[in-house]
Every structure is written in structure tokens, then in C-alpha cells.
Amino acid sequence: MTNVLEAGMRLVVASHNAGKVWEIKQLIQPFGLDAVSAGDLNLPEPEETETTFAGNARLKAVAAATASGLPALADDSGLEVDCLGGAPGIYSARWAGPTKDFSLAMKKVAEEVKQRHGWSAPGPKANFICALCLAWPDGQTEVFEGRVDGVLVWPARGGNGFGYDPMFLAEGKSETFGEMEPAEKHAMSHRSRAFEIFKAAKLDGLERGGGADVATANGGAGAFEGLSAAAANLSTRAELAAFVGHLREDLKANPGNWENADLPRFLEAMQGWLQDETSLEDEPRWRLLAKALLAASMYE
């Protein structure tokens, strides 16, 4: 018997990556589905031992569904570069090292392409691929895959998105994923394309008035969640600059949600957070500053 998703049902987003969790929440919440991340439930991250995106997505989804007793949706995605034989592929996150510093990962990709003389116009062919897996506590699984093709650019361009977005130029586009506004990227990304297949198969009849942006729908709380996801994933100076711009926009739009909306209180809160926070040593510098700025808006 096929399991069925229904409005009001709670799903586990089987990821500890704040950026991925945020994107998936944006995709499923307009359909009346509640979402909680594996990190929020303190579920362990399984070791990704499979050799394909689909295999790793299935592994993560099954682990989360089994541990939580809830249906789980997992994503496994990455960048494949033709002249690198498909690398970094399923190891895309690992190329960013233990701190997930994608500025280092992008430099590594650029250098590997250079060593293979791959930087001739119009750029080395590459693609993003995403596998979404829906798993149920009884072990039933379904996998949905999406892909977007393009070329790489170097130096990286833009401060939006996360991961390898600033060095990826999709076919027919003049802006990298890092330069695009989030709504434009979400409309055509590999994750969105996988979700369209998932939606057709599993969400038919559940849509509640279209895909409103989660931050808009939830007001300040949704905006803060989006900013938290951005702060947790940014790796470059350009991404930090874009983040500061979004932070300013949030203060203007939601001043009542800021605990520390004037400069003296903001700076005092930032100082307190930096003194009290004990897990900062390994943070990339741009990410550390973004987290400090965001924390200062709410820290008491």
C-alpha cells in the first residue's frame, strides 16, 4: 500500500545543513505540510556511504524516518564538472572541509580545472544535480531527481545562494546562481526541478493558494529563520555583504522583532555573544561575523 501525504502532516527534513533545510521548507510549507529538521530533533547524521546521490538521499531519509517515526524528506546534491570526471560529485560538501568553507572548495575546483587546462571559453561544462528521497517509517521510499546544466566561471560572482552557487552559470543565463535573486534561482534550480517531480507525484491536491515565500508568510519569524540559514552557510566576502544588506532590510521591515534595535544595545549584545559563545574557533571568518551580527539583533 502506498503511503499518502496529507495537509497538516509533519515531515522531517533529514539534514543538518541550515541552507538546505530552509530551501526545502520554502518548497513544502505552501502545501500545508509542517517541517522540522533532523538537527532540531537531535537526530544523528548517518555516514554517507553510498556511491550515488540517490543512494545517499535514501540512506539519510530512511535513517531520519526510522529514528523519528515520521515521514522524512532527504536531499543529496552536488556539483559535477565534466573535465574533472564528474568531481566533486557526491563529495561536494567534503571538498569544503570540516568547517564547510565553500570559498576553499570553489578555489579547489578552480585549481583542478586549471591543471586540466579547462578554463577555455565558454567555460568548463558542469551541472548541479539533486536527488530527493521521501521515506516512511515502514521503510517505503521514493526518489525524485532534478538537474540543471551550465558552465563554471572564475572568479566566483555574487553573494546570494550558498555552496558552489557563485561559480555556476546556468545555460542561457548571464548571472551566476550567486548573483540571482533567490526567487529566480529557486524557480530553476536542481532542487526545485526535483521538487517539481516530487510535487506532481505526492502533493497533487494539497496546494493552498500558491507558493508564497515562507519569510513573507511567517512575517519576522520566517525572515529571521532565513537569515539564520544564510549566516550558517555563507563562505565569502560577497555573501557577507549580501547578508548585511538583507539584515538591514529586516530591521527596516520588522523592527519590533529586534531585541536590540539601537546601536549601543546592538554592540553590547554582540560583545556579550562573542564572549559567551564557546564554539567559534573553527568558523570561517565571514561566517563568524555574519553569525555575530545576527546574534546581536536578538541576544540578551
The catalytic site residues sit at 76
Asked if residues 60 and 46 have their Cβ atoms less than 8 Å apart, the reply is yes
Looking at residue 50, its amino acid is: E
3-class secondary structure, 73: strand
Range 38-45, long-range pairs (CB < 8 A, 24+ positions): 38/12, 38/13, 38/14, 38/64, 38/68, 38/72, 39/15, 41/12, 41/67, 41/68, 43/12, 43/14, 43/67, 43/68, 45/16
Please state the separation of Cα 35 from the chain's center in Å. 15
Number of residues that make up the chain: 300
Please state the separation of Cα 71 from the chain's center in Å. 20
Contacts of 207 (CB under 8 A, 6+ apart): 30, 31
Set of cell numbers at residue 94:
567534503
DSSP 69: S
Asked if residues 126 and 168 have their Cβ atoms less than 8 Å apart, the reply is yes
Cα distance between residue 148 and residue 127, in whole Å: 6
